[in-house]
Structure 1
Amino acid sequence: MADVANEDERWLVVNGRRWRRTDPCLPDEVVAALTSHLGRGRSGVRTAKAAGDDAAVAAARRRVDLAKHGLGERGSRWWDDPEADRIDRARAALADLARLDATDEPDAETDAPADT
């Protein structure tokens, strides 16, 4: 496969540590949505750790992992895959995250106040 990105486009170095950059072929709205999930996940990890809630930590880490895979920052190296596959992977991660949101929401019927 042809080289789709040079080294500067692939990696970000912070304090001497190399981090994989977000896949540059992803549409802006997909990156924004995945980045929002990433922030929510990281915040959730902090909150759950402070509360000592191991199950919540695991759930928040799952959100972080899905978002980072969707962004191309984890998993297979985005520059080795065809662009269409990379976009499909990002959209699949968003769908998985939407399913997480759907299961995290309280059930309106069971949480509604009782009629008096």
Structure 2
Amino acid sequence: MTRREVEHTDDGRWLVVDGRRWRAADPSLPDDVRARLLSHLGRARSAVRTGADPAAVRAARDRVQLAKTGLGERGPAWWEQDDEARHARWEAALAALDATGG
């Protein structure tokens, strides 16, 4: 596997990989929160790849969405949210992810 070059935009809001722009994770995430969300994301992506039936794959994709929203990579732009909204975003995502047991 070749290593891809990742660039960051000057404002820190975007990553550019192979010419494609992706929203960066919220830099205000505490390290423990980031680690938990990334753990959920990894497990959910694995479940998408190994899902035995359409319902399992759909549930795993929903967990990917929750984790990426918690990270600030999807949903409302983290740079447009105040600190309270940002905190509420990741707490809600973690609560939902923890409740799924995924």
* Superposition TM-score, scaled by structure 1 size: 0.77
Q: Which runs of 5+ in 2 are unaligned?
A: 1-8
**One-letter code of the match for 1:63?**
R
Higher CA-based Rg: 1
- Alignment match, 1:12: 15
Identity of aligned residues (%): 61
What's the CA shift string for 1:60-112, capped at 9, x where partnerless? 001100000000000011000102210111011000011111xx7xxxxxxxx
**One-letter code of the match for 1:55?**
A
Pairing partner for 1:42 from 40, 45, 48? 45
Residue correspondence of structure 1 range 22-37 to structure 2 within 5 A: 22-37=25-40
Q: CA RMSD in A?
A: 1.4
- Alignment match, 1:83: 83
Runs of 4+ in 1 over 6 A off after TM superposition: none
- Alignment match, 1:57: 57
Q: Which has the higher helix share?
A: 1
In the comparison of the two structures, how many residue pairs are matched?
A: 94
**One-letter code of the match for 1:23?**
D
